[in-house]
Structure 1
Amino acid sequence: MINTETLTHREVRAVIGLAEMRGMQLDVLGQFLDMGRTQTYDLAARLLDAGMIHPLIEVEPGPKWVVPKPAAVTWALGWRATDWRPSPMWASHYRAVAQTRVALDATASHAWMSERIMRHETAAPGAYAYDGRLMRPDWKCAAVKVDTSRYLKPEDFSHRLRLVTDQAHRDQCIEVLYVCGGYLRPDAAVALARQVLPYGPDLDFSVVDLQALIAKNQAPKSSGGAVVHSLRHRATGGAH
């Protein structure tokens, strides 16, 4: 049984974020909440005492996972969800998606719609075509796809890209942000995308390296930005 009566504002934020993302590792949760390591461990201990999370889960070497119980997910999101646990096959992907959300400064629920919520709202079978919908400051949205594939054939990338762009159109996104966190590098992704979209996309298509995105978020704001490769000029005749 869960006890929500004594939760602080930050603990509520943690439970909602964990429910949206299915779970997060302790270090990423700390970044999500802008907390130090000791504070994050203390918060997890309080959530465990309140019956909101499972005991910390170790999947592979590295920080343990904080995973909300189904009752906590129902409390946070308003609908029943499966009792999800991170698996060795998917743990690195879910970590990268959570890191991407933090690096994009989209920790607020109004700034990011997670794959879990999009899949629930559309009743889509299987995984959603992309990993998160980013709401920009101008209230226009971008479809964010985080690629953590260990190996990706050109034809597989082409198929994936078509699925992502088609879904982004249906969701009325104005941009696709493709985050490279695995085998495929940004320059290769851009070259392949130009073959798939030979006349230029009718929505922004940008590619960024995950580690560069994280480094940009963690560096002083005056130190410059991550290198983002865009195809938009092919559609409009100029950068914008």
Structure 2
Amino acid sequence: MINTETLTHREVRALVGLAEMRAMQTDVLADYLQIGRSEVYRLARRLLDADLIHPLMEMQAGTKWVVPKPGTSAWALGWRTADWRPSPMWAEHYRAVAQTRVALEACASQQWMSERIMRHEAPGRGPYPYDGRLMRPDWQCVAVKVDTTRYLTPEEFSHRLHAIRDQARRDQCAELLYVCGGYIRPETAVATARRILRYESDLGFATVDLDSLITRRSSPKRSGDGRVFPLRHRATGGAH
């Protein structure tokens, strides 16, 4: 049992965020907590001394990973979890998802439902079609897909959008945000979405380049009048 009385509020926030995202690299965790890089290493040392995280892990290039122990994740999430470790296959993707969450300013648990939680709550097995569910200030939710795939054929990309659309509708999402961090570019995502989602009711679509989102150089691509790319329709038909 974890003794929360010995933890600071920031340490609790760090442990919950790490469990939700499986792990984070030190630079991303620093941005998540809005603290400096030196402070995040001091925080990690305190958590390590308390036996709540594994020793910091290196995975290819980049900063080290802060990985919670299974018991820590179980305490934060409410169910038993696997002893997850970053791998060469998934490290880049999970970094991009965590960076996206921070860039969208959705660090609080009530603002973001992680793929780990969605997969646990969904029936059946297999990966969830998208990577996070963002709660907007108006309490409408947004399905967020962070794409770091190195190559996708047009057919594969169309199949992916179909799967995301279907799950987003089941999840009663108002919008789909496609974050382009791999082979697919925002222009391609928009063109494919026009074809696949053109008959959808009450489902918005927006896309943004991952690097631009992280550096705050741009907002998700929207139609000329400032609205989300016009895939949302009134119940009686017609864009609005």
TM-score, scaled relative to structure 2: 0.91
Instruction: State the Cα distance separating 1:193 from its structure 2 match.
Output: 1.9
Match of 1:226 in 2: 219
For residue 143 of structure 2, give the secondary structure of its aligned residue in structure 1: strand
Moved more, 58-67 or 188-197: 188-197
Letter in 1 for 2:24: M
Match of 1:162 in 2: 162
Tell me if 1:137 matches 2:137: yes
Letter in 2 for 1:154: P
Cα distance in 2 for partners of 1:188, 1:41 equals: 40
Q: CA RMSD in A?
A: 1.8
Match of 1:49 in 2: 49
Instruction: State the Cα distance separating 1:42 from its structure 2 match.
Output: 0.4
Cα distance in 2 for partners of 1:127, 1:229 equals: 29
The number of equivalent residue pairs is: 232
Cα distance in 2 for partners of 1:198, 1:121 equals: 30
The answer to whether the Cα contact below 8 Å between 1:134 and 1:142 also exists between their aligned partners in 2 is yes
Instruction: State the Cα distance separating 1:100 from its structure 2 match.
Output: 0.4
The answer to whether the Cα contact below 8 Å between 1:186 and 1:229 also exists between their aligned partners in 2 is no
% identical equivalent positions: 66
Spell out, residue by residue over 1:121-174, the C-alpha distance to the aligned partner (whole angstroms, 9 max, x if none): 114311111100000101110100000000111101100000001000000101
Letter in 1 for 2:196: V
Match of 2:122 in 1: 122
Match of 1:94 in 2: 94
Letter in 1 for 2:230: H
Instruction: State the Cα distance separating 1:43 from its structure 2 match.
Output: 0.5
Cα distance in 1 for partners of 2:152, 2:178 equals: 14
For residue 205 of structure 1, give the secondary structure of its aligned residue in structure 2: strand
The answer to whether the Cα contact below 8 Å between 2:194 and 2:231 also exists between their aligned partners in 1 is no
Instruction: State the Cα distance separating 1:27 from its structure 2 match.
Output: 0.3
Spell out, residue by residue over 1:44-86, the C-alpha distance to the aligned partner (whole angstroms, 9 max, x if none): 1111011110001111111010010000011111111111001
Cα distance in 1 for partners of 2:101, 2:10 equals: 18
Cα distance in 1 for partners of 2:162, 2:199 equals: 14
Letter in 2 for 1:204: G
Task: Classify 1:115/1:124 alpha carbon distance in 2 versus 1 (closer, same or farther; 3 Å).
Answer: farther
> How does 1:189-208 map onto structure 2 within 5 Å?
189-199=189-199, 202-208=202-208
For residue 233 of structure 1, give the secondary structure of its aligned residue in structure 2: coil
The answer to whether the Cα contact below 8 Å between 1:212 and 1:227 also exists between their aligned partners in 2 is no
Question: Structure 1, unaligned stretches of length 5 or more?
Answer: 220-224
TM-score, scaled relative to structure 1: 0.91
For residue 5 of structure 1, give the secondary structure of its aligned residue in structure 2: helix
Cα distance in 1 for partners of 2:108, 2:102 equals: 10
The answer to whether the Cα contact below 8 Å between 2:203 and 2:231 also exists between their aligned partners in 1 is no
Cα distance in 1 for partners of 2:185, 2:222 equals: 11
Match of 1:222 in 2: none
The answer to whether the Cα contact below 8 Å between 1:149 and 1:183 also exists between their aligned partners in 2 is yes
Match of 2:186 in 1: 186
Instruction: State the Cα distance separating 1:211 from its structure 2 match.
Output: 1.0
Letter in 1 for 2:91: A
Instruction: State the Cα distance separating 1:235 from its structure 2 match.
Output: 4.4
Cα distance in 2 for partners of 1:88, 1:203 equals: 35
